[in-house]
Structures are given as C-alpha cells and as structure tokens.
C-alpha cells in the first residue's frame, strides 16, 4: 500500500493530492490525505468523504462544493459506512501548511459495509464499500487554480478493500474442510494464505481450512480435546508455560504432534496514537527507544510507577516529551490481552531472566500485600499471582485496542502502549519500540535482526526453536531477542470422524495446507511476519511427512473420553476473520468448544455431538443446548453478512 496522487475530476490544477493507503483497505483504516501547493496558488480549505464511484464530480465557485458532493445527497451518505469509519473529514490550517515542503495532512477513517439513507430529495439511496465494491474517496479542494479563479475542485481516489472472509472469497468451504484454532495474532496469516492457496494453480475448489481465534491457550485445549484438526502455537505443549493441558478439574492429555514451522514473528512493546507535527496534525511516533530497565519498571508497576525513569525516557525520545508518555484520554494506557499467549510468556520471560532484581511488584502501599513480591515468567496477565490489577489494562480482542486508538481525536496526543506481537502492531499502525538486548544495543524487529536471533535460538526437547534472550550479534547484526517461531501443530494420528472412520479427504487437505504454507505460501505472509529459513523448511518437510502416520487407537463414539484427543473435528469452526474495528463476541458456556460452522446445516447435524462434548451434567446439558440454539443464530448472522467477527473462548466471556 503506497501513496498515489488522486486525480482531479474535471480540471488540471497546480496542487498535488496524495492518498495513503488506497488499496486493501480494512474497516477503520485511517487514510492520510496530503495537500501540497505553492505560494501563488494557496489552498483555503479541503473536505473529504467516501462516496459513490463512477461519478464525474463537478467543480464549484460557490462557498460550498458542488451538489453532487453534498453529505446525504445522491452520492455521499448521511451516516458513516460503519461504526469504525468517519462520515467526513476536513483539513485545518491548510492555507498555511499546504505551502510547506511537507504539505498539509489530514486523515479520514474508512468504513467497510453497506449504508442506506434518504437523500435530500427523499429518494432511498444505498452505498456498499467492500472487496467486491470499490468506492471513491472524494477530496474537494478549494483554492486559487492556474486560471487565478477561486473554486472547489474535486479529486477522486478509488479505494479497494481487503477480503476479510476467505471462505466466501474462495467460493465456500472445500469438501473435507479441515479446522484449526489459534491466537488472534494469526488472523491475517490465515486470511491471506487461505485466499492465496485456493486461487493457486491446481488447488481444490473452496477454502481448504477454517479457523477459530480463541486465544492460544484455549486453542491448544481445543486441539487436545480433538475438537479441531490442528492448531497454531509457539510454545505448544512446553511444560513450563503449560498450555493445552487443562487444569486439575479438567486435565487434558497432549496429542502426539508434528511441529511444522510456518513463520517468524516477534513479541513487541508498541505505542499507538502520536504527537503534533509541524502542520498541527497528528503524526505517529517514530524511533522510540527504551532500556530493559525501563521496560521492566513499566510492565511490573504500570504507568504510575515509572516517574524516576521519565527524565531518561524523555531525553532519548523527545516526541514523547512533547506529548507526555501516555494519552490522558485513552481507556488503555498500557494494555495486553488477558488470554494465555506466547507473547505474554516471552515478554515476561526476558525480564525474569535478564532483569530479575527489577521484575518485582513495586514496594509501595499502592500494591498492598503484593508489594515487593517477585514476579515470574507467565502466560496470562489476567491470571498472574501477584496480580497486575492497576498495572495493565486488559482488552479482549485486538479490535478493542484498534478502536481505542482510532477514536482519539486529531488533537489528542500521547501514547497508547501495548504488549503484543509484531504482525498485530503493524496491522494497527503502531510504532514498535526498540528495546535493549543483552548486549545493550537498541534493536527493533526487522528481517535482519530476527534472522540473527534465529541463528542463536536453542532447541527444546520437542524440537522447537526457543528464543535465546542472551543471544549475541551474528556478523555484526544485533538480534532482536523476542523473536519467536510460529508453528502449525498437526496430529501424528490420522484424522477420523466420531465413528473412527478415516477422513481421507481431510487428511490430504491437511498435508496440502502444511506444504503450501511452508513453501509457496511463504511469499504471502502478512506484514510483520518473516519467512522461515531454508533449514526450517527442511524441518517442516520432515515433520509434514510424519502427519497421520501413527496408528490411531480410536474408540468409537459412546466409549471415548473427552480428553484423549482421538477424534477428528466434532464441530468444524467457521471461516471467521478478525476485522479490526468490529465487535468481538464470545458465546460459549464454560468447558465447551464453540465455533460457528461454515454452513448452518452442518451445525444442526452435529448438535447432539456438540452437546455431548460440551457438558457433563443435566444442568450443563440445558446450558449446552441453549448455547447451540444461540450458535445457530450467530451462524445465520455470519452467513448473511450481519456478523463480521466472532472470537470464541471458554468461560462465556463477552466483550
């Protein structure tokens, strides 16, 4: 996604109007509009709105733009296209700023969806902006043109939109669709690669895999139960973080699995929002650096406990000094997801390993009986002991963080900080903080620094590559110490249905998917993920060859336990995508594995099995049945386009 000069509809001008980005727009994407002119042709004002494409918008010498640009007219809606989009935007200080070398920049958030309204003549109008329906960003600029006449001149830039539902984008689910579960951080990985794979030469008809974004810990538990065919994880079944093993009341047995490396990612501390630029508009932060001591103080005690570090932080980061470290208007100052995640494990692990004397609860009365206690490496900020209450703002879903940042006004400055992963930070437009590594160098995750880190990783007993927090530079390239490997975790035993009948088509699709992801699909990785190394490709090939090769000691339905992991998919998860800016819903009762089916009929057919696996008592059976009925409603909404994202987990939490 780059910058392009928008074209004037009817007349040439001495001005330039640049739009960034204008391709692959997601719901809520903030588009930057830059205006530049010279002193002989000043611009007095500019307005922008997403309107109907294919219209030859006219000029105007009046105080207002041409009628065809009117808000609520025949072409431009009277309400935003989505709750994450702006209705319109207007530049400020254009007369002064547009003549500067950097020009004048203002932004508008683009919505995705369909909006209806009655125009000024009372006629019903409708506008759809999505992957199948491009729309025009119309920018009306009022200024002195080459003919020395003051007028409004429209510029149009066609916007194209991302496909956020790859099942629909592939024409529906493939026969034998395989199901997966994952952390939300892998949403774009699944969307991009699913769309690319189904359109590749010789591919099957339809989307090969579905996905449920239940959080990494919940995803591994779904996999342990046999409720999904495979799962994505970085820590997998490592006994130290302990994911996928259930708890004392519901212990789960890890499935024998092949571990297939699919991409490089990284845990990051990222900062969103921004500072006031020279033209008065908000500019994202850049070149932010923090020492490990400062990161330890921030994550252990929160924004209110780092006063002693602020002078050094500001001296190193003058942009932060100009705005203050944190946005005073944001509901999230320092945030993280509550789920059990590799990113939490690695961000706390490096501090526990390299800064143990600082990785403690601040010894102040604010923290009561926890004051002064040691912290440790952990997988969930929500479940930690000692607690992170009052330290970290927990948000249930990336869309919450995204919307929090985007709803801050253009004049609202200061940082919104989060512990997340590189791919998510890039998708949200957040600035990744350069942190110190073991040698003291400030490093950000780049292809070079991540590959440098990989070369120093250690090998776990299960064969996984594990971050080495004390890694040294390789050929003078400093490693980014929080680089990690994303793995596809697939069963060694063949996929079978609940009657122990082999699912031969699904087995082949699983192999096809793993082969595609580790070879051709490496060219389709989302921004923030890097390709695996040639040595890791060889490892992937060897691991893929093991999938489905171990004899399956399957017990037919009626005799099996829920924790043995012998079954294939009980309820194939739907093609649900993470469209940032959309609501996140969790609708599952505790202990159940819920995902909207790719087709409503399949959900209905699997209802008895779903209830059997979800509950253990008559009371819970009623709850499970209610959940299924609710699921049918959600599925119908998903297939009708009324639901853009569902994110499921255990415990029935709804955000």
Strand partners, 154: 140
pLDDT of residue 498: 87
CA pair distance 399, 408, nearest whole angstrom = 14
394 with 292, same domain: the answer is yes
Bridge partners (DSSP) listed for residue 477: 474
**H-type alpha helices, 379-421:** 398-406
Q: What is the pLDDT of residue 12?
A: 78
Same domain, 239 and 302: no
pTM for this model (two decimals): 0.79
For the chain, state the CA radius of gyration. Answer: 26
Which of 447, 463, 484 is the C-terminal boundary of a domain? 484
CB atoms within 10 A of CB 61: 10
Asked whether the beta carbons of 36 and 125 are under 8 A apart, the reply is no
Q: Kindly state whether residues 147 and 170 are assigned to the same domain.
A: no
Locate 153 and state its tokens.
């001149």
Burial of 246 (0-12, 13-18, 19+ CB in 10 A): middle
Measured CA to CA, the distance from residue 495 to residue 433 in angstroms comes to 43
Predicted local confidence at residue 301, as pLDDT: 97
Q: Which of 495, 451, 447 is nearest to 473 (CA)?
A: 451
User: Could you say which DSSP state residue 394 is in?
Assistant: E
Clarify whether residues 77 and 29 are in a common domain. yes
* Residues in Cβ contact with 260 at an 8 Å cutoff, skipping those fewer than 6 apart: 487, 488, 489, 490, 514, 517, 518, 540, 543, 544
Tell which of 575, 605, 632 closes a domain.
Answer: 575
For the chain, what is the domain count? Answer: 4
To 5 degrees, how large is the angle CA 602–CA 607–CA 613?
A: 120
Would you state the pLDDT for residue 478? Answer: 97
CA 162 to CA 577: how far, in whole Å? 11
β pairing state of 282-284 and 135-144 = unpaired
User: What is residue 406's predicted lDDT score, i.e. its pLDDT?
Assistant: 85
Sign of torsion, CA 212 217 220 226?
Answer: negative
Answer yes or no: do 464 and 512 share one domain: no
- Structure confidence at residue 7 (pLDDT): 74
Task: Say what the pLDDT of residue 613 is.
Answer: 32
Q: Say yes or no: 97 and 11 in one domain.
A: yes
CATH code (residue 409): 3.40.190.10
Query: Residue 538 in 3-state DSSP?
Result: helix
Examine the fold and report which residue of 139, 159, 179 is the final residue of a domain before the chain moves on.
159
SS (H, E, C) 329-387: CCCCCEEECCCCCHHHHHHHHHHHHHCCCCCECCCCHHHHHHCCCECCCCCCCCCCCCC
pLDDT at 625: 34
Statement to judge: residues 351 and 386 lie in one domain? yes
pLDDT score recorded for residue 449 = 98
Regions of the chain where pLDDT drops below 50: 1, 559-655
Same domain? 15 vs 131: yes
According to the model, what pLDDT value does residue 139 have? 96
- Taking alpha carbons only, the member of 42, 12, 177, 108 closest to residue 512 is 177
User: CA-CA distances (angstroms) from residue 82 to 88, 131, 307, 400?
Assistant: 12, 15, 40, 15
**Are residues 316 and 330 located together in one domain of the fold?**
yes
pLDDT, position 559: 47
Domain that holds residue 180: 166-263+486-575
Q: At 524, is the secondary structure helix, strand, or coil?
A: helix
Q: Are 213 and 180 in contact (CB under 8 A)?
A: no
Residue 552 pLDDT: 84
User: Of all helices (H) and strands (E), which one includes residue 618?
Assistant: helix 618-639
| Tokens encoding 614 | 């979800």
First to last CA, the chain: 31
Q: Judge if 104 and 224 occupy the same domain.
A: no
Residue 615, token pair as written in the block: 């509950």
Tell me how far apart the alpha carbons of residues 315 and 291 are, in angstroms, rounded to a whole number. Answer: 13
In this predicted structure, what is the pLDDT of residue 620? 34
Let me know whether 121 and 43 are in one domain: yes
How many angstroms separate the CA atoms of 606 and 599, rounded?
A: 11
Q: Are residues 295 and 386 in the same domain?
A: yes
What's the farthest any 2 CA atoms get from each other in the chain? 86
Q: How far apart are CA 21 and CA 224, in angstroms?
A: 41
């Amino acid at each position: 996604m780059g910058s392009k000069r928008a074209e004037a509809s009817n007349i040439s001008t001495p001005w330039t109007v640049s739009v960034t980005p204008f391709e692959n727009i997601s719901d809520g994407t903030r588009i930057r509009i830059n205006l530049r002119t010279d002193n002989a042709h000043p611009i007095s004002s500019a307005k922008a709105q997403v309107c109907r494409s294919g219209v030859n918008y006219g000029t105007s010498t009046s105080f207002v733009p041409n009628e065809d640009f009117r808000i609520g007219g025949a072409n431009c809606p009277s309400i935003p296209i989505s709750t994450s989009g702006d209705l319109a935007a207007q530049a400020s200080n254009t007369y002064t700023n547009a003549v500067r070398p950097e020009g004048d920049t203002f932004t508008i958030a683009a919505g995705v969806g369909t909006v209806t309204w009655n125009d000024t003549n009372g006629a019903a109008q409708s506008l759809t902006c999505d992957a199948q329906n491009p729309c025009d960003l119309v920018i009306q600029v009022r200024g002195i043109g080459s003919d020395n006449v003051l007028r409004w001149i429209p510029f149009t830039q066609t916007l194209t939109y991302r496909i956020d539902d790859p099942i629909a984008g592939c024409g529906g689910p493939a026969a034998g669709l395989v199901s997966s579960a994952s952390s939300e951080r892998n949403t774009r990985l699944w969307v991009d690669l699913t769309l690319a794979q189904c359109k590749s030469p010789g591919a099957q008809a339809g989307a090969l895999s579905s996905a449920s974004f239940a959080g990494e810990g919940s995803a591994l538990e779904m996999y342990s139960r046999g409720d999904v065919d495979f799962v994505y994880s970085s820590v997998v079944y490592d006994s130290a973080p302990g994911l996928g093993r259930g708890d004392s009341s519901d212990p789960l047995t890890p499935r024998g699995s092949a571990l297939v490396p699919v991409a490089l990612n990284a845990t990051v501390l990222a900062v969103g929002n921004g500072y006031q630029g020279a033209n008065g508009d908000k500019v994202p932060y850049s070149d932010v650096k923090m020492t490990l001591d400062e990161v330890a103080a921030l994550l252990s005690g929160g924004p209110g406990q780092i006063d002693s570090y602020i002078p050094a932080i500001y001296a190193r980061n003058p942009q932060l000094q100009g705005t203050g470290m944190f946005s005073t208007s944001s509901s999230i100052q320092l945030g993280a997801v509550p789920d059990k995640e590799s990113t939490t494990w690695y961000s706390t692990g490096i501090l526990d390993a390299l800064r143990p004397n600082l990785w403690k609860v601040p010894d102040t009365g604010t923290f009561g009986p926890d004051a002064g206690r040691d912290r440790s490496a952990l997988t969930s900020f929500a479940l930690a002991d000692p607690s992170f209450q009052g330290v970290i703002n927990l948000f249930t879903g990336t869309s919450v963080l995204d919307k929090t940042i985007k709803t801050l006004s253009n004049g609202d400055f200061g940082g919104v900080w989060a512990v997340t992963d590189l791919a998510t930070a890039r998708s949200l437009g957040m600035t990744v903080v350069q942190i110190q590594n073991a040698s003291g160098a400030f490093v950000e995750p780049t292809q070079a620094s991540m590959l440098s880190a990989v070369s120093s990783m250690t090998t776990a007993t299960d064969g996984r590559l594990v971050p080495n927090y004390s890694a040294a530079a390789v050929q003078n390239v400093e490693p980014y110490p929080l680089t990690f490997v994303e793995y596809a975790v697939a069963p060694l035993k063949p996929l079978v249905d609940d009657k122990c009948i082999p699912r031969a088509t699904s087995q082949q699709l699983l192999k096809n998917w793993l082969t595609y992801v580790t070879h051709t699909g490496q060219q389709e990785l989302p921004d923030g993920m890097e390709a695996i190394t040639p040595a890791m490709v060889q490892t992937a090939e060897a691991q893929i060859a093991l999938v489905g090769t171990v004899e399956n000691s399957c017990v037919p339905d009626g005799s099996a336990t829920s924790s043995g992991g012998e079954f294939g998919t009980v309820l194939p998860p739907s093609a649900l995508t993470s469209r940032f800016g959309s609501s996140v819903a969790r609708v599952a009762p505790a202990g159940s594995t819920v995902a909207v089916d790719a087709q409503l009929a399949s959900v209905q057919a699997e209802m008895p099995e779903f209830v059997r696996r979800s509950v253990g008592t008559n009371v819970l059976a009623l709850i499970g049945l209610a959940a299924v009925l609710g699921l049918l409603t959600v599925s119908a909404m998903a297939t009708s386009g009324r639901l853009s994202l569902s994110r499921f987990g255990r415990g029935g939490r709804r955000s």
